[in-house]
Structure 1
């Protein structure tokens, strides 16, 4: 089984997620060798037994990290295309597991990956973003989390430059668009990565001018511009996919607004109407790449308190563990016919992040966990 696209529209939809309209080059020789094989995750696991599920979850994460380690480029980056985004996501997967440059098994992987990303970010400007803003936000987020977790000064200059670009690239209304354009159009998918970077920068103690104001404007943008009728929109109010509703909700949660009416209404809708599935015949449209969707939905549930974590274990642990390949990677399901050279990196990093969300290691995760939940409101003054 390989990653298969049925239509050119489906091809564009997934490629568009990374901000590129041109069709990516196929892996030389057809299917990438790691796509072949059999699904093996969860064999023998009783998914009603929490101890077995937890052991399988941890094992799946380690196997995924080992696959990413084995497929890192010699220069420290990942993937043949969209290196800024892919390297950022892969680095985040290691950081979310608590790995640092001092880690015994993955230390060198993180050292070379973060150094590549830091070198890439130094001297960058908004107009140089080949990923239409996606890549910058993801790379900035990873660097901010690396600084917050390790406190190593080697990241500070790159983090400051990355955050400055985001602060300067924010629209008057608080959102972001492709290439940090300042027009009327806004894009929640692009914006969400900038917001995660901003929050990680705050959590890491960044002193970049305008950071707090950019975060405040971001919250207002999510609430007043993207939200309508219990959902968050991609580029018009309330019009987005499940992934966009997850993105809007998760961003409010990490900014301390998880108890807001908008976040709580969206959370209620997610709990009542959303269920993850592995569908090998579906044609996934824009922002419905399963790994992308599961990433935000995992955050939303785990950010919502103990009840949400239990919901995550029931909904996401089985599907993520069972769909992992024998060598530790994942691919995108669906009605596709070709394999894109970056997808296994993307799917593996994103699914690894989803599986590790209950661990609460990243600074943005801890920020959401420290936010009072709607179920336990603060006492009211008499």
Structure 2
């Protein structure tokens, strides 16, 4: 209902990050349900992504296909990460979109352009910071796992420690401060951070002033695909920390059967995340990595032969057993 004729959606954020994220969700939903109504929406949503790709392989805000005033293309690794996930999901869901395969191959070139020779990925140029995980996963999903850029990026990520709440103690110190001031760079944040820095373990300080959950959403997937001891070590550290960081409201809501259920969520004060919905999504998706990524990443994903018969008039709710979640 919110999709426009051009394939984009009403109510998006200013830079239209929501578009590739929504497209990713639609493509994955079709891959799991084969509902033709979902397929039609996904096909339309893919059009602006494919048409908005630069000849250099990347994307920028709003999927603007044009170069900057200086004639150069702004290839944004962060934005590209969501576009790559959407394209991969479409590919594995067997959605036939014009230019899809070409866009996936070209996107590898875009990520490589932002890869640092010593290992890592930058924002709109080569770098070695948190966006290393975005570039790494992007190339993994696009079939370039064996490229040197990916192997070097995994070495960089190998020094990371999965954490949730470097910002949480800072945020706790700032409960009475206006929301717009709870961000990196503000004087209030700097003051709180300086007081709390000694309490943060040394191995966690690498992301103390960044956006760990945004970076780790990608890093967790990179490690999962890498496997072996790298994934085992990451997983052993991640699970208890993330579970402990969850906030819970007991018996906050009744389920469809009238049973009282707890509500759990996560909050942090990352620079590039919103409380509490995005925080919760990024963390929950990491904790689903064990079973969630088959539709998007596995070559063994199995699709049934026929689509489910559905029309726009099918509006009945689908019953979901929440079990003990």
Structure 1 residues not aligned, in runs of 5+: 1-118, 370-382
Q: Aligned-pair distance for 1:362?
A: 4.4
Residue 312 in structure 1 maps to residue 248 in structure 2: no
- 1:359 is the counterpart of 2:291: yes
Partners of 1:303 and 1:148 in 2: CA distance: 20
Pairs within 5 Å for 1:47-196: 119-125=1-7, 130-181=13-64, 182-183=66-67, 184-196=73-85
Contact 2:2 2:9 in 1 (8 A): no
Mapped to 2, the partners of 1:354 and 1:332 lie a distance apart of: 15
Which of the numbers 198, 208, 212 marks the counterpart of 2:101? Answer: 212
Task: Give the structure with the higher percent helix.
Answer: 1
SS in 1 for 2:44: helix
Q: Residues 228 and 125 of structure 1: is their aligned pair in 2 closer, same or farther, counting only changes over 3 Å? A: farther
* Deviation digits for residues 179-205 of structure 1 (CA, Å, limit 9, x no counterpart): 122212221111110110000000000
State the alpha-carbon separation in 1 of the partners of residues 235 and 162 from structure 2: 12
Corresponding residue for residue 277 of structure 2: 345
Residues 148 and 314 of structure 1: CA distance in aligned 2, closer, same or farther (over 3 Å): same
Q: Deviations over 1:95-126 (max 9, x none)?
A: xxxxxxxxxxxxxxxxxxxxxxxx32352456
| TM-score of the superposed pair, with normalisation by structure 2 | 0.68
Is the 2:75–2:110 contact (alpha carbons within 8 Å) kept by the matching residues of 1?
no
What's 2:160 paired with?
A: 274
Q: CA deviation at 1:130?
A: 3.7
The more displaced of 309-318 and 344-353 is: 309-318
Deviations 1:23-62 (A, max 9, x none): xxxxxxxxxxxxxxxxxxxxxxxxxxxxxxxxxxxxxxxx
CA positional deviation for 1:155: 0.5
Distance change in 2, residues 1:157/1:122 (3 Å): farther
Q: Show the counterpart of 1:296.
A: 218
Q: Distance in 2 between matches of 1:249 and 1:188?
A: 10
- Which has the larger Rg? 2
3-state DSSP class of the match of 1:281? helix
Question: Does the 8 A contact of 2:115 with 2:121 survive in 1?
Answer: yes
Tell me, yes or no, if the aligned pair for 1:198 and 1:215 is still in contact at 8 Å: yes
Q: Which residue of 2 aligns with 1:252?
A: 139
- 1:254-312, Cα deviation, whole Å (9 max, x unpaired): 122222211011101211x2113321238647993332122111111001124343123
Distance apart, 1:360 and its partner CA? 4.3
- The answer to whether the Cα contact below 8 Å between 2:26 and 2:38 also exists between their aligned partners in 1 is yes
Match of 2:268 among 317, 327, 332: 332
Alpha-carbon separation, structure 1, partners of 2:18 and 2:36? 23
1:141 shift after superposition: 0.5
Contact 1:140 1:162 (8 Å CA) reproduced: yes
Give RMSD over aligned pairs: 2.8
Residue-pair matches, total = 244
Q: Are the aligned partners of 1:258 and 1:264 in contact in 2 as well (CA < 8 Å)?
A: yes
Q: Which of 144, 149, 152 lines up with 1:265 in the alignment? A: 152
Structure 1 residues 361 and 297, CA gap change in structure 2 (3 angstroms): closer
CA contact (8 A) 1:303 1:368 kept: no
Give the CA deviation at 1:127.
Answer: 9.8
The structural deviation recorded for 1:223 is 1.6
Q: What is the TM-score of this pair, normalised by structure 1?
A: 0.59
C-alpha contact 1:126 1:165 (8 A) present in aligned 2: yes
User: Which structure is richer in relative contact order (CA contacts within 8 A, separation 6 or more)?
Assistant: 1
**Counterparts of 2:151 and 2:142 in 1: how far apart (Å)?**
14
